[in-house]
Amino acid sequence: MTFLFIINPVSGGHDKSDWEQRIDAFFADRPYTVHRCYLDGKTDAETIQKQLSQCKPDRVVAVGGDGTIKLVAEQLLDNPIPLGILPGGSANGMARELGIPTDLQKSLELLIDGKPKPIDVISINNDDICLHLSDIGLNAHIVKYYEQNNLRGKLGYLRSVLKVLRKRQLLRLEIKTDDECVQRVAFMVVLANARMYGTGAVINPDGDPSDGRFEVVIFRRLSFGEILKLFWRFQPFDPKKIEIYPATSVTIETHKRAYFQIDGEYRGRITKLNAQIKPAALSVILN
């Protein structure tokens, strides 16, 4: 079996040199072939495709955070090669959702002992994908500030929360799903292919990335305490303040430009969004 490790050397603000040594040590006495390539943030898609063609791996492993996982996943969509994950980011939301250990030794063992399983992805505006969570409104605004912030980790996120709270605005929205068309005033709307944010805040208790659908989560009211639940782990949101609509497709229109993020990466401001589920589009190595 041949492994291709795709490494983001700067994800999560951590030096990966020790990881590389541990990866080499792990495979030293095992009958596997290991290749590595490094992302530079400039020609990553081309680099990955070139390595896939040259190495012809049986398993591809993303070493990094949610952004790295998404980047590698985009190159493996509708491809039988399964994706493995070594969580190396700040939040590791997708790895947490899929039950992948954060301990490097255990996650390496999973690459060998785990089985490929299909998961869904959400197609966004026909030119992007969401593996985990995307949203319009308040949290996307927080993500924008966080990306501009020199302070990382929880303190950086909390600083962004406090900054956004001073400017939080309600959105007027029209939301069309498979069976519903509703108009709402809300602080944010989430497209959820998962249960929780990387911080551990559960927003979609029944979410399942393998059920052939996603959920549209509407936050109609959002107090200071509720916003802090985006920051603290394992704090469920008040179900009286949110609505959840299962969907395989959705169109969302806003009365004015709203902040938008996909899988923790800010995408700018939009007035319209179209999304559809792509069932079982990605194979991932899981327990």
pLDDT, one tens digit per residue, over 153-186 is 556 666 666 666 667 789 999 999 998 999 999 9
What confidence tens digit (pLDDT) does each residue in 6-30 have?
999 877 666 667 888 999 999 999 9
Copy the structure tokens of residue 64.
Answer: 């990094």
Which 3 state secondary structure label does DSSP give 213?
coil
The percentage of the chain sitting over the pLDDT mark of 70, rounded to a whole number, equals: 87
One-character DSSP codes across the chain: -EEEEEE-TTGGG---HHHHHHHHHHHTTSS-EEEEEE--SSSHHHHHHHHHHHH--SEEEEEESHHHHHHHHHHHTT-SSPEEEEE-SSS-HHHHHHT--SSHHHHHHHHHH-EEEEEEEEEETTTEEESSEEEEEHHHHHHHHHHH-S--HHHHHHHHHHHHHTT---EEEEEEESS-EEEEEESEEEEESSSB-TT--BS-TT--TTSS-EEEEEES---HHHHHTTTSTT----GGGEEEEEESEEEEEEEEEEEEEETTEEEEEEEEEEEEEEEEEEEEEE-
Give the mean model confidence (pLDDT) for residues 33-43. Answer: 94
What does the block give as tokens for 53?
A: 């063609």
Please report the pLDDT score of residue 236 as a whole number. Answer: 64
Q: Which residues of 59-70 are buried (b: 16+ CB within 10 A; e: fewer)?
A: bbbbbbbbbbbb
Give the containing element (helix H, strand E) for 47: helix 44-55
Report the Cα 183 to chain-centroid distance in Å.
Answer: 27
pLDDT at 241 over 90: no
Which pLDDT value is given to residue 141? 87
Give the pLDDT score at 159.
65
Q: How far is CA 55 from CA 39, 134, 235, in A?
A: 16, 33, 44
Question: What's the whole-number average pLDDT of the chain?
Answer: 89
Q: Which range among 112-121, 202-211, 271-280 shows the weakest confidence by mean pLDDT?
A: 202-211
Lowest mean pLDDT among 21-30, 38-47, 195-204: 195-204
Name every residue whose Cβ is closer than 8 Å to that of residue 42 and which is 6 or more positions away in sequence: none
Within 8 A by CB and 6+ apart from 232, the residues are 199, 200, 201
User: What is the pTM for the complete model shown?
Assistant: 0.91
Q: 154 Cβ partners below 8 Å, 6+ apart?
A: 199, 231
Contact in structure between 272 and 252 (CB atoms under 8 Å): yes
Q: Is the pLDDT of residue 281 over 70?
A: yes
Among 164-168, 199-203, 258-262, the range scoring the smallest mean pLDDT is 164-168
Q: In whole angstroms, what is the distance from residue 25 CA to residue 14 CA?
A: 20
